[in-house]
Structure 1
Amino acid sequence: MRALIVTDFDADPRIEEVETPSPGPGEVLVRIEACALNFADLLMAKGTYQDTPELPFALGMEVAGRIEALGEGVKGPKPGTRIAVFGGSGGMAEYGVFPADRCIPVPDGMPSEVAAGFIVAYGTSHLALTHRARLKEGETLLVLGAAGGVGLTAVEVGKKLGATVIAVANGTEKLQACKDAGADHLIDGSKEDIREAVRALGGADVIYDPVGGDLFKQAMRACKPEARIIVIGFASGDVPQIPANIILVKNITVIGFYWGAYTTFNPGPLVMSVRDLMGWYAEGKLDPHISHVLPLDRATEALDLMRQRKSTGKVVVTP
């Protein structure tokens, strides 16, 4: 089979012919129909992600496809079942083996391109805003990097939870995507002072930050007293140092959130979150945004779209 393989952290990943894997105990073999990219794939390709596998490995954290075979001791899902799964890696390939207990059945009306990019992006925003930040109806949610893969879902989920949503993104096209997702207020981060713009809107109760860097510092200074800041990631490449005096004076809570960790240390809230989200999708309450769908032969181009900030929503590769 073909797969996008990382063999050296100092070299670009490349398409290679490799042996089709066989499922081990507790695993299933999946014929992959779509693989969604995440910012973590860029970090993993350079060996800087917290859960980077040992070399060599195939990129691709989340996929959708059909069960082909079951490993020892696995009773389901049965072969032929459409599923989505967060595997952590191995998705940028024609086949992959993944833990059976992570496989989630995909509704008939959900295309594979949507299903592949659904679990992590929506799951991150939903679990972060409900389980960790306890976002309440009527509160103001500030979303940084709001036109990105997780940012747009935070806008959408925040609105469904009854919040007033302020979206920060760069440029007219990306701001329009935020407006289409339900944002109440738009801030162009490339032109406006975020601190002053948010303060003019009354401040923020919850800040959703997948960016870090200077945006974190500006947003923190626009918090209301007792605000909660959710640290999702550092797409800017800059991990901000938090000034404890500001946290103290404004009674701010800074909340770390890594969605993938819940698959091992506390899967219960994660499972319930994904079930809720699948229900919302089936009821027509969510409208996933995919900006690019590319074949496996153009997988490096797909990675470049994310690296150069040229995408909105999700980028998907179809083996």
Structure 2
Amino acid sequence: MRAFHITSFESPPKIVECPVPTPGPGQIRLRIHACGLNFADLLMMTGRYQDTPALPFTLGMEVAGTVDAIGPDTEAPAVGTRVAVFGGHGGLAEYGCFDAARAVVLPDAMDDVSAAAFQIAYGTSHVALDHKARLQPGETLLVLGAAGGVGLTAVEIGKLMGARVIACARGADKLSVAKAAGADHLIDAKTDDIRETCRALGGVDVIYDPVGGDQFTAAFRACRPEARILSIGFASGEVPQIPANHLLVKNISVMGLYWGGYLAFRPEVVTGSLATLLDWHRAGRITPHVSHTYSLDQASDALALLRARKSTGKVVVTVS
């Protein structure tokens, strides 16, 4: 089979030929149809992600595919069942073995590209806004990086939860995508003053931040008392330094959110969230936005597009 493999953090990954893996106990093997890309894949390529596996390994965190084989002593969906799996890596390949407990059976109405784009982006935003921040109807939600993979789903879910949503992104094209997802107010990160714009709108109750850096600092200064800040990631490359005395004065809470981490200590948070999200998808209340699809042979180009921040929503690599 072919796989997009990385053997050194100093060298770019490349397509290699390798044996089709055999599933062990507790595993299923998938014939992979599509793999969703994430900013974490870029970090993993250089060994900077918190869950980077030992070299060598195949990139690709989340996949959609068909169960092709089941390991011994394993309860799993039957061979031939279409599923999505968050495997952490191994998705940019024609076949992969994954933990059977992570397999989510897909509804017939969800195509493979949408399924590969679904779990991390929607799961992160739903767990963050519902489980962590307890976003309430009528509150004001500010989403930074609002046209990106997770940011766009935060706009969509925040609106579904009854919030007034302020979307912040770079440029008119990206802001138009956030507007279509339900944003009530738009901030151009290239030209607008985030702090002053949010203050003019009455301040914010919840900040969803996958960006970090200067945008975090500006948004922080627009918080209302008892605001909640969700630290999702640092796409800017700069980890914010938080003035604890300001947290105290305004009774602000800052919360970290690593969606995949819940699988290790509270998997029911993830499974319950995904069940809700799949119900919403069946009802037509959420629709994955995929701006670009590439073939496996074009995986390097797909990652370059993600690195250049030229995509909106998700980028997906189709395998078969």
Q: CA RMSD in A?
A: 0.5
**Residue 143 in structure 1 maps to residue 143 in structure 2:** yes
CA contact (8 A) 2:26 2:75 kept: no
2:165 corresponding residue in structure 1: 165
Segments of structure 1 that go 5 or more residues without pairing to the other structure are none
1:178 and 1:302 map into 2 onto residues whose CA distance is 22
Q: Which residue of 1 aligns with 2:88?
A: 88
The equivalent residue for 1:131 is 131
Q: How big is each residue's C-alpha offset from its partner over 1:72-96, in whole Å with a ceiling of 9 and x where there is no partner?
A: 1113200000000000000000000
**1:127: Cα distance to partner?**
0.5
Letter of the aligned partner of 1:68 in structure 2?
D
CA-to-partner distance for each residue in 1:250-270, whole Å, 9 max, x for gaps? 110000110000111001111
The aligned residue for residue 25 of structure 2 is 25
**Deviation for aligned residue 1:133:** 0.3
Cα drift, residue 187 of structure 1: 0.3
Q: Supply the distance in 1 between the matched residues of 2:316 and 2:94 (Cα, whole angstroms).
A: 14
Q: Does 1:273 align with 2:273?
A: yes
- Quote the Cα distance in structure 1 between the aligned partners of 2:192 and 2:249: 26
Structure 2 counterpart of 1:110, which letter?
M
Give runs of aligned pairs for residues 90-239 of structure 1, distance below 5 A. 90-239=90-239
Deviations 1:92-140 (A, max 9, x none): 0000000000000000010100001101100000000000000001100
The letter for the 2-side match of 1:317 is V
Partner of 1:178, secondary structure, is helix
Letter in 1 for 2:89: S
TM-score (norm 1): 0.99
**Runs of 5+ consecutive residues of structure 2 not aligned to the other structure:** none
Deviation at 1:287, TM superposition (A): 1.5
Letter in 2 for 1:238: E
Q: Contact conserved, 2:84 with 2:116, CA < 8 A, in 1?
A: yes
Secondary structure, counterpart of 1:165 in structure 2: strand
Residues 207 and 219 in structure 2, CA contact (< 8 A), matched pair in contact too: yes
The AA in structure 2 aligned to 1:255 is M
- Where do 4+ consecutive residues of structure 1 move more than 4 Å? none
**Taking structure 2 as the reference length, what is the TM-score of the superposition?**
0.99
SS at match of 1:198: helix
The count of corresponding residues between Structure 1 and Structure 2 is 319
Q: Distance in 2 between matches of 1:15 and 1:218?
A: 42
- Report the CA distance between 1:189 and its aligned residue: 0.4
Distance (whole Å) between structure 1 residues aligned to residue 144 and residue 109 of structure 2:
31
Q: Secondary structure at the match of 1:155?
A: helix
Q: Secondary structure at the match of 1:214?
A: helix
Give secondary structure in 2 for the equivalent of 1:44: helix
Q: SS state of the match for residue 136, structure 2?
A: coil
Check conservation: 2:3, 2:93, Cα contact below 8 A.
yes
SS at match of 2:241: coil
Please name the residue that 2:294 is paired with.
294
Task: Say if 2:66 is the partner of 1:66.
Answer: yes
**Structure 2 Cα separation of the partners of residues 17 and 33 of structure 1:** 17
Whole-angstrom CA distance in 2 between matches of 1:262 and 1:21: 27
- Cα distance in 1 between the residues matched to 2:75 and 2:140: 45
Contact persistence 2:293–2:315 (CA under 8 A): yes
- Residue type at the aligned position of 1:34: A
In the other structure, the counterpart of 2:261 is 261
Three-state SS of the structure 1 residue aligned to 2:47 is coil
Residue type of the alignment partner of 1:237: G
Alignment of 1:307-318 (within 5 A): 307-318=307-318
Measure the CA separation in 1 of the matches of 2:233 and 2:100.
Answer: 28
The code of the aligned residue for 1:231 comes to S
Residue 89 of structure 1 aligns with an amino acid whose one-letter code is H
Q: How far, CA to CA, are the matches of 1:200 and 1:221 in structure 2?
A: 12
1:248 CA displacement: 1.2
Distance in structure 2 (CA, Å) of the matches to 1:99 and 1:309: 31
Separation in 1, partners of 2:270, 2:90: 21
Residue aligning to 2:8:
8
Query: Deviation of residue 33 (structure 1)?
Result: 0.3
- Measure the CA separation in 2 of the matches of 1:206 and 1:76: 39
Distance in 2, matches of 1:7 and 1:176, equals 40
What code does the residue aligned with 1:273 have?
A: S
